[in-house]
Amino acid sequence: MAFSTRRLQKELADLKREGAPVGIELLSADDFATWLLSVEVLGETVYQGEKFALKFRFDNQYPISAPAVQFVVEDNWVAPIHPHVYSNGHICASILGSEWSPVLSVVSVCVTLQSMLASCKRKELPPDNDRYVRHAPENPKKTRWDFHGTSSPRS
């Protein structure tokens, strides 16, 4: 059994036993390749009452390598309008790239993204949204993000 499978089995068992944090719900985890979770931002935020779905895709290097994580933009789901979230669901967040650590988990990523949304003061797309979405790879991990205070992919 691959290390990634053992780790994901443990995370799934913990999630089922302890439950997810408030505002986060496991929607599906039928295999160890793709999981869906929903995230709702709690409290008075610009996203009050909205719920978003996150898709996690794991390779056999997880947790050494980050999962590919993006907001779902199909089946009645939409991505949040946020300066670090593109309309195709791709997320510019350093923990999904250069600051990924094997100590992070599916739940900790969800909580971090929940917090990122909660701190948003104004709904707006990244300034380069249209250009990025036109040329974006299918897998957000193939984008080389610039994390220096902007939410831009590097050229």
**What pLDDT digit, counting tens, does each position of 56-98 carry?**
999 999 999 999 999 999 989 999 999 999 999 999 999 999 8
Output the six-digit token pair for 82: 């946020």
Residue 79 near residue 85, CB atoms below 8 Å: yes
pLDDT digits (tens, 9 = 90+) for 35-46: 999 999 988 999
Q: pLDDT for 110-137, tens place per residue?
A: 999 999 999 999 999 999 999 999 999 9
Catalytic pick among 8, 69, 72, 92: 92
pLDDT at 147: 61
Per-residue pLDDT at 4: 86
Domains (range + CATH), the chain: 3-139 (3.10.110.10)
Is the pLDDT confidence value at 24 over 80?
yes
Phi, psi of 38 (to 5 degrees): -105, 150
Give the pLDDT score at 119. Answer: 95
Is residue 79 within 8 Å of 89, Cβ to Cβ?
yes
Exposure class string for 78-88: b at 16+ Cβ within 10 A, else e: ebbbbbbbbbb
Alpha helices in the chain (DSSP H): 3-18, 106-118, 129-135
Q: What's the whole-number mean pLDDT along residues 45-49?
A: 94
* Catalytic site includes residue 110: no
